[in-house]
Structure 1
């Protein structure tokens, strides 16, 4: 049992090690880029904020409960003019009036619980909800655009790595040919068939190839660093990538310019502006809400007094009158309950509602202008991309013919060099022509793939499978 468990653990470790040593495919690179791409993550955060706004708008109809209170010292004086207590039926005291100040002081406490619930917003919340929905769809369309841009960036870096990889193969083949020609040149120099100068020409060609190999290593290191920064994948695994550079053949476009993410985003934005205009037009419609509240009020160590008599003087009885001076233990009111419906009807808001409507209309007009401008530019961009793609395909055919001619020329030059019919200068020229033709051919394929990517992006039909099957 112990041996079985040990074998299982070793197998799992071996499997994990092998997986860690596998070269990442393009799909893994793309997923890693999207996880790390700042623009993509920022656009996702914008979508999250819009989703939160939608939830906040839905929650506006939920009841709210607020509890508040305060405590402190209260001292209030009220001036009043009131009739004095009329004792004329009992005593012969003329009726008069008091100019009195009533003072209430003491430590006060107030507590309030209040609940509110919006019942009807005049339709504004409904329109704003639809506007947010359109805004969210607009941001989702922009998220597609940001994703396509990230794909284009990693695709270019990946194809550049493939171009460098293919260039290495071209240089390796050239190095092998030069090594074989170097042996022929050594024999020819020994027999006196060529001069030392001709022999140096081959040495110079080998040195030139060595310099190009150093340049290749520098470009490869730079591209691997770029891929590491973009994806976060360990450089050990990235070095295992051996991409192949082949021409891309995108399928015929099934969509139009109107399917581009930018146009769809602007369409959603225009729809959102329409709903925003409708929402602003509801400013004059009454809003209704339900409310309920409960109060407690207490006055402690209080004193209620007046500045003048509240019971008049009675001269006949030799009574000087009496002021109010009351010291109750405490005064409190609880519960004081209120419940019912309330409404708010803005009959005139200082033209604020009208200004908000005009602002929303201007925003919509701006979006419409942007859409028309984008349609013109994207239409021109599609035509330009189609032309660039056609030219890139023609360049591949041209560079292939140049490569074939250069290869035939090198074969002929090698034969003539072996039989002493030509000098090393012509051989090296033929060798350089073939190397340059092969490198130009690989560059033509690279440019064709870039043109294919932009052509697919022109109608928002970027298909990775067509590029990296």
Structure 2
């Protein structure tokens, strides 16, 4: 068993020496890439950002629809207390005028009596008391004073801002999933150390018992072994709890089945990439810039309320019988609306939007300063992680040579079994420290990519 363990450790060290120069880049384990994809599909925050972007897209369509004609069909019934008619003097005048026209048409002298057998037309009411109407109206904005176009541009930049926020949310979620996955891999790596320690203590317990029987050791030595075994049980309990917790966190982040998560075997492999010098604009900054542009167009839209608006108005009545004598059957007209003074509301709203834009500008500058500081910190952390790997590799080489020497001495009766087991335990612990250094290097590498806006998954 110890021989196979030693071979595995030697292979691990050889792998590290090769991997140090191998360009892995952002190649993720298939299991990890799949978990990230599922996490992105499951994330509530990402979905909410998507809905916000869809709403902004609908706002763009609303702005465009300003120039589409609006057609409205109307219907109504009204009953007045009485018919609306001419007053008596006007009615008498209309009747007298009708008689004069008939006399002139029939050749009856002006001063002659009007014949009784000639019928007269009744005077029409101005409006009957029963009014049934059905009509269609057309309202068509021809020029909105640039309000609609600026509203469209503001909504378009607002949509882009939410899209970038969604991408930033994806980056943060990917970081969480990668970190949790790596922690789980580190927990699994610690299991081998615990097993080695357990075997080591069992061997120690056996030889201590033999020594006590032969009078070569005291019961205190056995109590030390028992204490170490109890401490090991505590570490094993902590291992099991960490494993359960990390699997639960991955389940919450990705909605992956817990049983499926228990079957994965995550591995820690260092990332090395020659493209770490590439710096791209972070999605958070892009989102702020788009939000700033949206507020600027919103401010322009508020100012444009003082620009004259032009619209076409049309109306047509389907039922003519109930129209009054003064109502037209149809009409078409052009209208001009010019807001001269609105109590400074448009001016103040525009000023408010300008101030909001300045606020975004300050946030952009603050974010850029923090990102610059974060890049410096991430670069230092990444360089330190590489140095730590080199240091641990030297420790493994020393532990490996020590184990070989002690093992040879043990075979020649120049060292005790305790010395040999301690050397093996030191070698296994050094190997676990290498796994920890891998974890730190992966974290530093991913953080550096994230800081430089180059994180892809």
Asked if these proteins are the same fold (TM beyond 0.5), I'd say: yes
Q: Mean alpha-carbon deviation: is it higher for 435-444 or for 75-84?
A: 75-84
In 1, are the aligned partners of 2:392 and 2:434 still within 8 Å (CA)? Answer: yes
Please state how far the C-alpha of 1:396 moved relative to its aligned partner.
Answer: 3.1
Q: Residue 42 of structure 1 corresponds to which residue in structure 2?
A: 48
1:256 is aligned to 279
Q: Is the 1:290–1:342 contact (alpha carbons within 8 Å) kept by the matching residues of 2?
A: yes
Superimposed CA distance per residue, residues 426-455 of structure 1 (whole angstroms, 9 cap, x where no aligned partner): 888777766655444433322222221111
1:235 is the counterpart of 2:235: no
Out of 142, 165, 169, the residue aligned to residue 119 of structure 1 is 142
State the Cα deviation string for residues 110-135 of structure 1 (Å, max 9, x = none).
32311222211122222222222222
Matched residue SS, 1:70: strand
SS in 1 for 2:453: coil
Q: Are the aligned partners of 1:75 and 1:105 in contact in 2 as well (CA < 8 Å)?
A: no
How do residues 137-216 of structure 1 correspond to structure 2 at under 5 angstroms?
137-181=160-204, 185=208, 192-216=215-239
Check 1:275–1:103 CA distance in 2 against 1; reply closer, same or farther (3 A cut): closer
Q: TM-score, normalised by structure 2?
A: 0.75
What are the Cα deviations for residues 28-81 of structure 1, in whole angstroms up to 9, with x where unaligned? 111110111111111111111111111222222221111122224223798999
Aligned partners of 2:274 and 2:132: how far apart in 1? Answer: 79
Alignment map for 1:180-329 (pairs within 5 Å): 180-181=203-204, 185=208, 192-256=215-279, 259-295=281-317
User: What SS does the aligned partner of 1:243 have?
Assistant: coil
Q: Residue in 2 aligned with 1:339?
A: 332
- Asked if 1:446 corresponds to 2:439, the answer is yes
Once residues 372 and 284 of structure 2 are traced to their aligned partners in structure 1, the CA distance between those partners, rounded to angstroms, is 13
**Structure with higher helix content:** 2
Q: Secondary structure at the match of 2:314?
A: strand
Counterpart Cα distance in 2 of 1:214 and 1:250? 38
Task: Identify unmatched segments of 5+ residues in structure 2.
Answer: 1-28, 97-109, 112-124
Higher strand share: 1
Cα deviation per residue 1:188-219 (whole Å; 9 max; x = unaligned)?
A: 55655444543554454444334322321221
Residues of 2 paired with 1:292 and 1:194: CA distance?
111
Question: 1:122·1:285 contact (CA, 8 Å) conserved in 2?
Answer: yes
CA distance, structure 2, for counterparts of residue 104 and residue 139 of structure 1:
58
| 2:348 aligned partner | 355
Distance 2:356 2:386 in 1: 44
Once the 2 structures are TM-superposed, how far is the Cα of residue 180 of structure 1 from its aligned partner?
Answer: 4.8
What corresponds to 1:27 in structure 2? Answer: 33
Distance in 2 of aligned mates of 1:421 and 1:370 = 67
Counterpart secondary structure, 2:129: strand
Using the TM superposition, give the Cα deviation of residue 245 of structure 1 relative to its aligned residue in structure 2, in angstroms: 1.1
Alpha carbons 1:157, 1:227 under 8 Å: kept: yes
- Say whether the 8 Å CA contact 1:76–1:104 is kept in structure 2: no
How big is each residue's C-alpha offset from its partner over 1:365-390, in whole Å with a ceiling of 9 and x where there is no partner?
Answer: 11111111111121112112222222
Bigger shift: 57-66 or 279-288?
Answer: 279-288
* Contact in 1 for aligned 2:86/2:126 (Cα 8 Å): no
Structure 2 CA distance, aligned partners of 1:203 and 1:171?
16
Distance 1:32 1:196, change over 3 A: same
Is the alpha carbon distance of 1:56 and 1:456 closer, same or farther for their aligned partners in structure 2, counting shifts above 3 Å? same
Residues 84 and 128, structure 2, Cα contact 8 Å, conserved in 1: no
Q: Summarize the Cα distance change of 1:213–1:407 in structure 2 as closer, same or farther, 3 Å threshold.
A: farther
Q: Which residue of 1 is the match for residue 367 of structure 2?
A: 374
Stretch of structure 1 that moved more, 157-166 or 111-120: 111-120
| Alpha-carbon spacing, 1:362–1:332, altered in 2? closer, same or farther (3 Å) | same
Q: CA deviation at 1:226?
A: 1.6
Q: Which runs of 5+ in 1 are unaligned?
A: 1-22, 91-101, 301-329, 465-469
Q: Output the TM-score relative to the length of structure 1.
A: 0.73
Equivalent pair of 2:320/2:329 in contact (CA under 8 Å): no
